[in-house]
Structure 1
Amino acid sequence: MNLPQPSADALEQSARLVSRLRSLIEAQDGWISFATYMAEALYTPGLGYYSGGAHKFGPGGDFITAPELTPLFGQALAAQVQQVMELSAPHIIEAGAGTGLLAADLLLELEHRGALPESYGILEVSGELRERQFDTLAAKAPHLASRVRWLDSLPEHFSGALVANEVLDVMPVHLVAWRPDGIFERGVALGADGSFVWADKPAGGKVAEAAAALDVPLPDEGEYVSEINLAGRAWIAEWAARLERGAMLLVDYGYPRAEYYLDSRGTGTLLCYFRHHAHGDPFLWPGLNDITAFVDFTAVAEAGFEAGLDVLGYTNQATLLFNCGVLECLARRAPEDSVDYIRAAKAVQRLTGPHEMGELFKVIALGKDLTQPLIGFLRGDRLHTL
């Protein structure tokens, strides 16, 4: 891999996390699940990727999300958020708010529409990102910043719109290997030199149950490796217990199950990101890389349904944005020959292009006690594919 080199300070931070992980593996009889490893690598306070001080988003970080591309993403999404609030209650919670750009864009667009929420809560595990979100809101929407509150845990009760953009893909996943002699969970152990190595053991408990339910055929030879996101299912169930009226709008990259577990994806979807370079080694510089896995949206729908939520819609990002008026938002950037308009039009192409984010990213809505179809899914709904 031809990757940029981290700074000496970053490598020292990673070394401290490596030491912690080694101690954890030794304390667990020499083996931890990959889900445990991923949780530690991403969320260990002060050392994990999302809990340390690394610059993560935008051109100077490791990846760019839709809100970093253009405000038009949030402006279009605001139409759907507004409808959910009108059908439930004027409150928004955003989970994993990144740099705070989506929060600022949503609030400014809802103000333009005369539909400001009474409150905007942000659920964020990273103290460093909370500071960036505060600074972003203070710079882009200072007159609206007082509506925003940072939450330390899920509310006991909630009515309104929950928004989560690229949250499910960074929840810790279990790795499973289907082999001719059975189903195994792939975890992490220590090599003779103290390095991290893969180690399999027969799957058990909830991992075994979930793997067996997928009905992935055991191969005649070799192995089929993929991921199971039990944390995502549990998170949705927790929200279902708290949502009284409203909808969850979940945006992420992924597939319905029939496409997720294809024969051609026999090595899984796990990816790591470091300074806009994608690679497949989660043991490289723990704490300095983002670690992600694509989302099984059938599992998301099942988790919501089993917890008492209605599956209100499922489609790709392009369809949702077009249904929500992204082109009308773009038209407000006229004149069409201006530099600003041309730049915005190129961003919309990235958001909606079938070979870019438009098809790769999907949107699913799970809700309770809503009486009208959601506008983002009126055309091009793909619920039948789940």
Structure 2
Amino acid sequence: MNLEQGADRATPLTRIIDAALQRAGGWLPFDRFMAMALYAPGLGYYANTSRKFGQMPDSGSDFVTAPELTPLFGRTLAIQVAEALDKTGTDEVWEFGAGSGALALQLLDALGDRVARYRIVDLSGTLRERQQQTLAKHSGKVEWLSELPETLRGVVVGNEVLDAMPVQLLVRTKGEWFERGVVRHGDGLVWEDRPTELRPPVEVQGAHDYLSEIHPQAEAFIATLADRMKQGAAFFIDYGFPESEYYHPQRHMGTVMCHRGHLADPDPLADVGQKDITAHVNFTGVAVAGQDAGLEVLGYCSQARFLLNAGILPLLEQATLAERTLAARLIHEHEMGELFKVIGFVAGEPWDAIGFAEGDRMHTL
């Protein structure tokens, strides 16, 4: 079935997508389309030269993340990272998807000599150039990689990384399940649903039509990380829910969203490569993937609770009024405080991590 389309003009990226469609018989599952739209070398959203990160649209940016909002985010996270370095007996920090380099700078400034090496794993060459400029004063400690190493020891951080990993779309129509993919129709890319044996990880109650996502790539990433982490801990911060909330009957339109110029829209088939495409994180799936691969879950809580536990309030007391106003967005429920969650893992012996000291929600996963 053909559904509403996002018309486009032919671009180098859409021509690559058209070639992939032709090789695949005319239909691509959404995760393959999303991967090309975001990561096609030199052309995908995260591989091209657009600015992406910034506080305001007039900077040419598309969205703001916590480290760009205020350095108090990284300074607070550093308190948890320092504890994790001590508990795991390691001296390296690994960051996945380092964006503008703002978080790396905040962590390196705060951790000082506690970090011997800061390794960034990022697929974007243009973002790497920006990171190198941001981190120039720490250049002796920073190393860039384009893929996971065979073994890893240290503390991993990832802020808004899992939401950018390609997802598969599942749609229930008149009681039947389909996988939603992309086809070419005239001058536009359009949706087409095909019957599938795939299902969400929990049964979605009700008989109404329903659209949602499954996250095999994010879960495979966590499993691979677990397999290669011989010693250390990991902390991922992102927006999402446990699966009981993710697949709630009322969340019937899914969570895929696009961001451009600090505005959101729900059409990933339009302006391909020129805007971000994200989906919320199923933290239950992430936790299970880590556990099944040998990691222990240290905790799971809201970003607000994590930052309060880790010690943001004393930092706020020393901040200016303007800095406090920005930092408040990190912890207010109607801003980032409740929608964003933090999950922690450890390879080795778990401990009572400071970030999860109060308000741990592991029982909801």
TM-score by length of 1: 0.89
Task: Name the counterpart of 2:127.
Answer: 129
Task: Name the counterpart of 1:198.
Answer: 191
- 2:154 corresponds to 1:160: yes
Task: Give yes or no for contact 2:239–2:339 (8 Å, CA) kept in 1.
Answer: yes
Using the TM superposition, give the Cα deviation of residue 220 of structure 1 relative to its aligned residue in structure 2, in angstroms: 3.0
> 1:376 is paired with a residue of what secondary structure?
helix
CA offsets 1:58-81 (integer angstroms, 9 cap, x no match): 022000000001100000000110
The residue type paired with residue 191 of structure 2 is W
Task: Name the counterpart of 1:215.
Answer: 203
Pairwise mapping of residues 8-87 of structure 1 onto structure 2 (< 5 A)?
15-58=11-54, 59=56, 60=59, 61-87=61-87
Using the TM superposition, give the Cα deviation of residue 332 of structure 1 relative to its aligned residue in structure 2, in angstroms: 3.1
Task: Give yes or no for contact 2:29–2:180 (8 Å, CA) kept in 1.
Answer: yes
Task: Name the counterpart of 2:318.
Answer: 332
RMSD value, Cα: 1.4
The residue type paired with residue 107 of structure 2 is L
- 2:266 corresponds to 1:280: yes
Using the TM superposition, give the Cα deviation of residue 182 of structure 1 relative to its aligned residue in structure 2, in angstroms: 2.4
Using the TM superposition, give the Cα deviation of residue 181 of structure 1 relative to its aligned residue in structure 2, in angstroms: 4.1
Whole-Å separation in 1 of the counterparts to 2:282 and 2:42: 30
Using the TM superposition, give the Cα deviation of residue 371 of structure 1 relative to its aligned residue in structure 2, in angstroms: 4.2
Using the TM superposition, give the Cα deviation of residue 258 of structure 1 relative to its aligned residue in structure 2, in angstroms: 1.1
Whole-Å separation in 1 of the counterparts to 2:127 and 2:356: 31
| Matched residues, number | 353
> 2:11 is paired with a residue of what secondary structure?
helix
Using the TM superposition, give the Cα deviation of residue 212 of structure 1 relative to its aligned residue in structure 2, in angstroms: 5.1
More strand by share: 2
Structure 1 residues 108 and 280, CA gap change in structure 2 (3 angstroms): same
- 2:295 corresponds to 1:309: yes
What percentage of aligned pairs have identical amino acids?
A: 44
Whole-Å separation in 1 of the counterparts to 2:104 and 2:238: 17
Task: Name the counterpart of 1:147.
Answer: 141
The residue type paired with residue 153 of structure 1 is E
Task: Name the counterpart of 1:8.
Answer: none
Whole-Å separation in 2 of the counterparts to 1:124 and 1:162: 13
Pairwise mapping of residues 222-233 of structure 1 onto structure 2 (< 5 A)?
223-233=209-219
TM-score by length of 2: 0.94
Structure 1 residues 47 and 212, CA gap change in structure 2 (3 angstroms): closer
Task: Give yes or no for contact 2:301–2:342 (8 Å, CA) kept in 1.
Answer: yes
Aligned equivalent of 1:296, options 255, 258, 282:
282
Using the TM superposition, give the Cα deviation of residue 373 of structure 1 relative to its aligned residue in structure 2, in angstroms: 1.1
Task: Give yes or no for contact 1:97–1:122 (8 Å, CA) kept in 2.
Answer: yes
Whole-Å separation in 2 of the counterparts to 1:371 and 1:313: 10
Aligned equivalent of 1:375, options 336, 342, 354:
354
Task: Name the counterpart of 2:102.
Answer: 101
> 2:191 is paired with a residue of what secondary structure?
strand
CA offsets 1:99-121 (integer angstroms, 9 cap, x no match): 0010000011112xxx5211100
Whole-Å separation in 2 of the counterparts to 1:342 and 1:153: 41
Using the TM superposition, give the Cα deviation of residue 179 of structure 1 relative to its aligned residue in structure 2, in angstroms: 3.0
Whole-Å separation in 2 of the counterparts to 1:371 and 1:25: 46
Task: Name the counterpart of 1:336.
Answer: none
Task: Name the counterpart of 1:361.
Answer: 340
Whole-Å separation in 1 of the counterparts to 2:64 and 2:330: 12
Whole-Å separation in 2 of the counterparts to 1:127 and 1:189: 29
Task: Give yes or no for contact 1:245–1:370 (8 Å, CA) kept in 2.
Answer: no
Whole-Å separation in 2 of the counterparts to 1:354 and 1:135: 34
Whole-Å separation in 2 of the counterparts to 1:370 and 1:379: 20
> 1:50 is paired with a residue of what secondary structure?
helix
